[in-house]
Amino acid sequence: MKKVHFLTAGLIFLGMLVSCNSDDSNGTVNNGSITEITDNAKNGTWIVTLYEDDGNNETNHFTGYMFTFGNNNVLTATNGANTYTGSWSITNSSSSDDDDNGSSDIDFNIGFATPATFEDLTDDWDIVEINDNIMKLVDVSGGNGGTDYLTFEKN
């Protein structure tokens, strides 16, 4: 039985070594576990510091809004006067048809039904970088091949 625990611990350690890179000292979670990424997102409120839709900077659509990635996959965006509720989740897309060009198989999923500007955030985003203070996401459109960038920073 001890041999099995030792083997399991060794495999976990090996997995951690393989997923680490030189940037890990700053708290970056690249290809982190779904639990790590979920816990990071749920920790505090976030603001959008970049939303680029196929080369067009549309960050101003989200100015003044604070985003909370809450329990039960509830995503809330509020600016004090308006509050919009959507959904979010972190999923493993390795079995999906997504062509993520070799990036992580973990997707950061965001969904808003209204308003139209927030609907633009609705997608299964690939994770570029996540740490305690920033979440950088990217999506390459399957239709027109355009690339969207979304960055949240801790408020």
What is the separation, in whole angstroms, between the first and last Cα of the chain?
A: 47
**Closest of 35, 80, 63 to residue 153, by C-alpha:** 63
CB 79 within 8 A of CB 66: yes
Structure tokens at 96: 């999906």
pLDDT tens across 122-143, in order? 999 999 999 999 999 999 887 7
Q: Is a pLDDT exceeding 60 seen at residue 148? A: yes
Q: Is 150 helix (H, G, I), strand (E, B) or coil?
A: strand
CA dist 135 and 46 (Å) reads 9
Structure tokens at 133: 């203070």
Mean pLDDT of the chain: 80
Residue 48: band (very low, low, confident or very high) from pLDDT cuts 50, 70, 90: very high
CA dist 155 and 45 (Å) reads 6
Q: Give me the architecture of the 30-154 domain, per CATH.
A: Beta Barrel (2.40)
Q: Would you say the pTM of this structure is higher than 0.85?
A: no
Report the percentage of the chain scoring pLDDT > 70: 73
> Which pLDDT score is estimated for 51?
98
Structure tokens at 55: 């080369």
CB 147 within 8 A of CB 135: no
Task: Please tell me the least confidently modeled range out of 20-29, 118-127, 135-144.
Answer: 20-29
pLDDT tens across 89-107, in order? 999 976 444 444 445 589 9
Q: Is a pLDDT exceeding 90 seen at residue 83? A: yes
